[in-house]
Amino acid sequence: MRSINPRSSILALIFTFGFLPQVASAELRCGWVDNPTPANWWLTDRDGEWILSVQGVGDQDNGFSDIPNDWNFQDQWRETNGSYGYGCGCFEGKVDKATNWVSEVTALTAKSLAVCESDLALPAR
């Protein structure tokens, strides 16, 4: 019976799994939430701008329009164009860092404007 060299087994595992594509895991991203015009939604955090929905394209089936919360900003929403504007909030989900599209949304949470205003990593408003 042939014995298995443990070093060979470890190297085989490293080479096998080290070259597999990495599956994106869910992330919590918080920052400025913009809705400047109908169906255009994105979140800007310390890493950049994450697209949730674009007018004429939709949400690319990421689940954004299926979540009933719709962020509910109440008095923490600043109107800049009729009822459209910006707030502070978070989404939980997955992002495609190559395109900046949010590929999956599982939760939305509104925050007070003061949270984003005090975060020095975010652009000032």
Residue 111 lies in a domain: yes
Residue 11 lies in a domain: no
Q: Is the pTM value of this prediction over 0.75?
A: yes
Number of CB atoms found within 10 A of residue 24's CB: 13
- 16 has pLDDT over 60: no
- The answer to whether position 15 is within a domain reads no
What's the Cα-to-Cα distance from 114 to each of 15, 77, 82, 117, rounded to whole Å?
48, 11, 22, 5
| CATH number of domain containing 69 | 2.40.50
Mean pLDDT of 20-43: 86
What average pLDDT is seen over the chain? 85
Instruction: Tell me the per-residue pLDDT of 55-66, one tens digit each, with 9 for 90 and over.
Output: 999 888 999 988
Percent of the chain with pLDDT over 70: 79
Cα-Cα end-to-end distance for the chain: 71
Rounded distance, CA 5 to CA 111, Å?
55
> Which pair of tokens denotes residue 14?
């490293």
Condensed to tens digits (0 to 9), the pLDDT of residues 78-112 reads 999 999 999 999 999 999 999 999 999 999 999 99
For residue 48, pLDDT over 60 is answered with yes
Structural domains counted in the chain: 1
